[in-house]
Amino acid sequence: MPDIKANSTVNAVLWTTLLSARLAVADPSAAKPAFDPPTVRSPAALVAAAADGQAFLEWNPGLEDDLAGYLVYRRVPQGSEFERVTLKPIERTTFTDTGLANGRACRYRVASVLRDGKESEPSNEITVEPRASAAPKVTEGPADIQVPGFEAIRLPRALLVLFENGHRLVFDIDLARPRDWIAADGTHLL
């Protein structure tokens, strides 16, 4: 082996590289990297929304060439084991779980599955609590739109839609388009 003095970072790196190469020739298992990347990655960014007796799930797609699909798991109630909801892998990156009890929280996670059956580690977990929601209240008539810093606009014919969360949509009937969306805190979103 060459005479290398490890008196600098560069020499230390060279020495380590030469030593690793010599060990790899003597013992091929010594050249194996310390990190063995997974052959199938977990689905990323699982998000959910609740509805009346339903949970809507969505996640980012996997990039593996031999991806068969995804398995969805649910845990109800908290503390119990996760059970598989999908009987076989689904190909899409969305799933709607129906027939759920309103007011009862469910916890979800998703796993990627390759064609050979290998399953990834689970995705992030997300909690959803299905709930009944009221239909928005819709009234027809004139409406005033007042955005701070601007003059008020009077719409002679408008639909006013009031949502359960306090948001309000003003739809201009004559132009056939929304004109304002006001959050519960008064922020104008359009």
Q: Which residues pair with 122 in a beta bridge?
A: none
- pLDDT at residue 10, as a whole number: 44
Residue 121 included in any domain: yes
Q: Say how far apart CA 135 and CA 96 lie, in whole Å.
A: 20
Looking at the structure, tell me whether residues 149 and 114 fall in a common domain.
no
**Could you give the percent of the chain with pLDDT greater than 70?**
79
Q: Is the predicted pLDDT of residue 35 greater than 60, yes or no? A: no
- Which residues span the domain enclosing 154? 137-182
Distant-in-sequence, close-in-space partners of 77: CB < 8 Å, separation ≥ 6: 104, 105
The average confidence (pLDDT) of the chain is: 83
- pLDDT at residue 38, as a whole number: 60
Looking at the structure, tell me whether residues 142 and 82 fall in a common domain.
no
Q: Say how far apart CA 135 and CA 139 lie, in whole Å.
A: 13
Residue 5 included in any domain: yes
Give the CA distances from residue 7 to residues 4, 10, 18, in Å, rounded to whole numbers and listed in that order. Answer: 9, 8, 16
Looking at the structure, tell me whether residues 54 and 24 fall in a common domain.
no
Residue 175 included in any domain: yes
Looking at the structure, tell me whether residues 122 and 56 fall in a common domain.
yes
Residue 28 included in any domain: yes
Assign 3-class secondary structure to the chain. Answer: CCCCCCCCHHHHHHHHHHHHHHHHHHCHHHHCCCCCCCCCCCCEEEEEEEECCEEEEEEECCCCCCEEEEEEEEECCCCCCCEECCCCCECCCEEEECCCCCCCCEEEEEEEEECCCCECCCCCCEEECCCCCCCCEEEEEEEEECCCCCCCEEEEEEEEEECCCCCEEEEECCCCEEEEEECCCCCECC
Residue 188 included in any domain: no
**Could you give the percent of the chain with pLDDT greater than 90?**
52
Q: What pLDDT digit, counting tens, does each position of 1-14 carry?
A: 444 444 444 455 44
Looking at the structure, tell me whether residues 11 and 29 fall in a common domain.
yes
- pLDDT at residue 190, as a whole number: 76
Looking at the structure, tell me whether residues 29 and 62 fall in a common domain.
no
Phi, psi of 24 (to 5 degrees): -65, -35
Looking at the structure, tell me whether residues 64 and 107 fall in a common domain.
yes
- pLDDT at residue 14, as a whole number: 47
- pLDDT at residue 120, as a whole number: 92
Q: Is the predicted pLDDT of residue 78 greater than 80, yes or no? A: no
The reported pTM is 0.58
For the chain, how many structural domains are there in total? Answer: 3
Residue 187 included in any domain: no
Looking at the structure, tell me whether residues 16 and 71 fall in a common domain.
no
Looking at the structure, tell me whether residues 83 and 121 fall in a common domain.
yes
Looking at the structure, tell me whether residues 49 and 75 fall in a common domain.
yes
Looking at the structure, tell me whether residues 62 and 80 fall in a common domain.
yes
Give the tokens for residue 68: 């068969």
Residue 116 included in any domain: yes
Residue 189 included in any domain: no
- pLDDT at residue 106, as a whole number: 92
Q: What pLDDT digit, counting tens, does each position of 106-152 carry?
A: 999 999 999 999 999 999 999 999 998 888 899 999 998 888 888 88
- pLDDT at residue 21, as a whole number: 53
Looking at the structure, tell me whether residues 55 and 114 fall in a common domain.
yes
Examine the fold and report which residue of 128, 146, 174 is the final residue of a domain before the chain moves on: 128
